[in-house]
Amino acid sequence: MPEMPGTRNVVRAGGEFLADRPLIACGLIALIVLAPAAGWGIPQATSEVTVRGWEVDGVSGIGVLAELSNLTSAARPDWYVAYPLFHYLLLSVAYIPYIAILTLTGKLNHPGGVFPYGFADPVRALAVLNMIGHAITVLMGAATIMAVFALARRLYGTRGAVLAALLALCSAPFMFYARTGNLDVPALCWTMLCFVALERCWTDGLSTGRAVACGAFAALAVATKDQSYGLLLLPIVALLVRALRTAGSATTATRIRLPLVLVGSGLAVFLIASGIVFRPDRFVRHLQYITNFRETFTNVRFQTDLTVMREPGVRGRLLLLGDMLRATSAAVGWPVVAMGLAGLVALGRSVPATRWILAAIGGFFLLVIVPIQHMQYRYALAPAVLLSLSAAALTVRLTSRPVLLGALAIVLLAPALAGGAEVTHAMMTDARWPASEWVNQHVAAGDTLGFFGRPHQLPYMPRGVRVEQLQLGEVETRLGVVRPRWLVVAPDYFADPLRERSTFLPLAVYQGLRDGSLGYTLVARFESPGLLGRPLPYLPYVNPVVQLYERRHAE
C-alpha cells in the first residue's frame, strides 16, 4: 500500500523535531526546573473537606471525578461549570490506567458522590490522581517554553530565543502555575502552539496543514480556558484578512478556501473539545457562569488588593490597565515590561509578527480584563510571556557585542529569576509542611478542628478528625455551638492586608482569639521566612503563616 502524504509529513516533522537538539534541550531544562516543587498542594484526603489540597481553582483529582460523574449521570445542582471541558477530558484519559488498576485490585468499589467516593484508601488514591494532573501540567509547561523558543528563534534568531525562553520560564506565575492542577499553563501551552502555527502561516503562507494546525490549537486553547480567545482573536482575524488580500486575482472560491479551512477546523475541534456535541446543556451553564462574573465571583465579601472589582468607565479602565502592568511587572520585572513595550513600538515595522503580538496583548486587555472589570495574577501569564518575546527581540537588535548583550540580558533576567526563585522557595518550604507534622502529633481522631475561610489554607489532617468550616456571618455562633477543640488561623486567597488571616475571619473574632477572651490559647505558630524576606505579594495562600489555637479546659 502506498504511503499517504499526510503520513510522510508527520514522519518528516518527527525527524526534524528529534534532530532539533536545542529545542529538546530547552524542554529538558524546563522539566528539570519545574519538577522539584510539583508536589506542592497535593491533598491529603482524610475528610471531604480536605480533598482539594492547597491550590486554588485546580481541577485535578476530585475535580475531574466530579466532572465525569456529572457528565455521565444526572447533573447535580451544584455542578461547577466555571471552566470549559477539554482539560477535564484530557485528565480523564490520563487517569484511566490508574483507575483501572484500582478497580481490578478491589481498591475502588461502587464509586459514588459521598466521601470516600468508593476508594478503599482515598488519601493515597486522590494523591496519585493529583500527582498525575500536576505531572501533565509540568509537561505542558515544558512544551510552552519549547514553543516560546521555537517562535522566538524563527523571529529573532537563536540568541533572542534563548533569552525569551529563560524570561518566560523564570517568571513567578509561570513557576507557580506550571506545577499545579490549574488550567492556566495548559491553556497557555495551546495558545503558544497556536502562535507558532500562526507565525508559520504569516511567514511561509497559508496552506491546508498550517490552517488546520492554527485553527485546532486555537480551539483547544479556548476549550481549555475561555480567556485564551482574547489573545487569539485579533491575530487570527489579521491573518485571515491578510490571506484574503494577498490572494490576488484568484477566484472567490480559491481566495476563501484556506481561511475557511482554518475557521472550519477550529469550529469542528471546539465543538468536540468543549463538549457541545454531547453535553450542550453543560456548555450553556458554563456560558451563564462566565457572563455573570460579578455575581458568580462569590466569596468577595470584603474587597482586598486581590479581589477588587473596578467600576465601568474611563477611570476604571485606566485602573485596570495599571493593575495589569503591576501584575505583569511582578511576574517578570519592570525591566522586561519596559523593554517589551519599547520593542513592540520599535520593531512594529521591521518585524511584522510584533504587530500581532501587540494585538494579542491589547485584545486580551480589551476582551477579557475590561469586561470582567477585574485583574488576577494568573492573567499576567500570557502578557508576561509575550512581552518576554518582545524584550528579547529588542535586546538582540540593540547590540551584537557579546559583553553588552550579556549585560542587558542580566538586567532583564535578574528580577524575573529572583521572582521565580522566590516562588519555588516558598513552595518547597511552605509553613504547612511543619504545621502538618505538628497537627498529626497533637490532634487526635475524634477531635474537632475549625477554620475560617477556604480549605486550601489547611495543613494536612490525621484520619478521623472532624473538620468544621466556620462560615462568615455565623462565626461566633458556630464557635459556641460546635466548640471545636482546635482552631486553625491562616490566610487564604481572600487574605487580610497583613497576610495573617482570611477576611472570612472577622477582625473582632481574631482579636478575641489572640487575647484569649474567646476561651482559646495560641499553642503553635508556624512561619517560614520568604527568600526575599516578604510574603508573596500575589499568592497569599502559598507559604502562609499558620496559627493553631486550643480551647482551654478541653478534654
Local structure of 119: helix, strand or coil: strand
Give the whole-angstrom CA distance, residue 308 versus residue 197: 37
Helix (H) or strand (E) holding 555: none
SS3 state of residue 523: strand
Place of cell 490576488: 248
pLDDT reported for residue 307: 76
Bridge-based pairing of strands 486-489 and 448-451 is parallel
For the packed helices 334-346 and 314-332, what is the interaxial angle rounded to 10 degrees?
Answer: 110
The helix/strand/coil state of 66 is helix
CB count, 10 Å around CB of 531?
17
Mean pLDDT score of the chain, rounded to an integer? 89
DSSP state of 540: T
The C-alpha cell at 384 is 508576561
Q: How far apart are CA 147 and CA 239, in angstroms?
A: 19
pLDDT score recorded for residue 212 = 95
Residue 429 DSSP SS3? coil
Angstrom distance (rounded) from CA 102 to CA 104: 6
Cell of 378: 494568573
- Contact (Cβ atoms closer than 8 angstroms) between residue 237 and residue 223: no
One-letter amino acid identity for 120? Answer: A
Residue 96: per-residue pLDDT: 95
Pick from 457, 420, 461, 458: nearest CA to 439? 461
HEC-encoded secondary structure of 324-371: HHHHHHHHHCHHHHHHHHHHHHHCCCCCHHHHHHHHHHHHHHHHHHHH
CA proximity to 213, closest of 4, 13, 353: 13
User: If we measure between CA atoms, which residue out of 228, 231, 220, 216 comes closest to residue 290?
Assistant: 228
CA distance 81 to 284: 9
Contact in structure between 486 and 443 (CB atoms under 8 Å): yes
Residue with cell 524570561: 167
Side-chain-facing half-sphere of 541: CA atoms under 13 Å? 22
Complete edge-to-edge strand list for the sheet that includes strand 486-489: 466-469, 448-451, 486-489, 546-551, 520-526
**Residues 180-200: tens digit of each pLDDT:** 999 999 999 999 999 999 999
What CA–CA distance (Å, rounded) separates 466 from 483?
12
Q: In the prediction, which pLDDT does 5 show?
A: 44
Cell of 550: 486550643
β-bridge mates for residue 466, sequence order: 448
Whether the pTM exceeds 0.85: the reply is yes
pLDDT at 470: 85
The HSE-up count of residue 418 (CA atoms within 13 Å, CB side) is 16
Residue with cell 485490585: 105
Cα-trace Rg, the chain: 25
Q: Which residues of the chain have pLDDT under 50?
A: 1-5, 299
Would you state the pLDDT for residue 299? 47
First-to-last C-alpha distance (Å) of the chain: 80
CA count, 13 A, side-chain hemisphere, 229: 11
CB neighbour list of residue 439: distance below 8 Å, 6 or more residues apart: 449, 459, 460, 461, 462, 548
Question: Given phi > 0 = left and psi -120 to 50 = alpha, else beta, which region is 146?
Answer: alpha
Residues 6 or more apart whose CB falls under 8 angstroms from that of 329 comprise 336, 337
